[in-house]
Amino acid sequence: MSAQVIDGNRIRDEILQESKARVERLAASGRLPGLTVILVGDDPASHIYVRNKIKACEELGVRSERLAPPPTISTEELIAVVEDLNRRDEIDGILVQMPLPRQIDSKRVLMAISPEKDVDGLHPVSVGNLVTNRPGLRPCTPLGVIEILKRNRVPIAGSRAVVVGRSDLVGKPVAFLLLHEHATVTLCHSKTVDLPGVCRQADILVAAMGRPAMITTEYIKPGATVIDVGINRISDRAQAEAIFARRPERLAVFDKKGSLLVGDVHPVDVAECAGLYTPVPGGVGPLTIAMLMSNTIDAAERRSCEK
């Protein structure tokens, strides 16, 4: 019996539809959520991400603006921009698109964002709220992972969950969110002894370490739910051939495009071993912007209630 593929695009559309109704309720009370995205530099991927975020705002009716300071801006000047946004009442969410140019201290800039407007959930206050399970804004991709599990009726409470990767952006927040849903959580990393054996115990396996197709059959408990957060572009023919040896149609796509996106989970092995899994692309990825929209609306609703 082959594994069931999770359609991240469908879940994204559900969340965006729910978000639109929330925006309409706020608008009826005389308030529109507002998001400002700060983009510094000429990173092509960042420009695409920001464009998609602004487009999502427009489709939902969220007020949005894109600030593009000169790439030579200093840390102090960028912090001044952030502090001005903190004071603006019509702005509910502030997002600084990463990466920033080398001369800028990214940590200082992120620290300058008001926690109430920290829609990326990266401020130390936001992290503290997450760890202690207090109300607050959470990182978008980890929130998307939880939405995927819940909307596919995957039992979390009482399940054994293993997270591979301990980044501040994904691994650690996912572990805490699963813990707060009453899973028994193991957080793994490069020094974990017998990593395949630990992973094979997981009812829910979350891969988030940035290593293409690393999670193979020996890591996956038959029938487990596997959430692949990794997005890796491979352009080496030998690597593509090793991964897709049993999928000549995928190799043909590689030969046509010169590259392919793969996750941290081996795409052939997971389809044969898991019970439920997210593909790459089309799994976790679509949820990130949807959860950003949800966080912006959350921030607007909280700030509206405080007045």
Q: Residues 53, 117, 172, 221: which is the catalytic one?
A: 53
Per-residue pLDDT, 1: 53
Interacting residues of 35 by C-beta distance below 8 A, sequence separation 6+: 53, 57, 62, 63, 64, 65, 91, 92, 93, 94, 95, 119, 292, 296
Q: Which helix (H) or strand (E) holds 151?
A: helix 140-151
Chain Cα centroid distance, residue 208: 10
- Domains of the chain plus CATH, in order, are 31-114 (3.40.50.10860), 140-287 (3.40.50.720)
| Reported pTM | 0.94
Q: Give the phi and the psi of residue 180 in degrees, each rounded to 5.
A: -70, -20
Q: Residues 120, 203, 264, 269: which is the catalytic one?
A: 120
Q: Residues 97, 118, 172, 203: which is the catalytic one?
A: 97
What is the per-residue pLDDT across 15-68, written as a single tens digit (0 to 9) for each? 999 999 999 999 999 999 999 999 999 888 899 999 999 999 999 999 999 999
Query: The dihedral of CA 264, 96, 107, 141: what is its sign?
Result: negative
Count the neighbouring beta carbons within 10 Å of the beta carbon of residue 258.
Answer: 9
Say whether 17 is catalytic. Answer: no
Q: Which helix (H) or strand (E) holds 4?
A: strand 4-5
Residues of the chain with pLDDT under 70: 1, 306-307
Say whether 53 is catalytic. Answer: yes
Say whether 4 is catalytic. Answer: no
Per-residue pLDDT, 306: 67
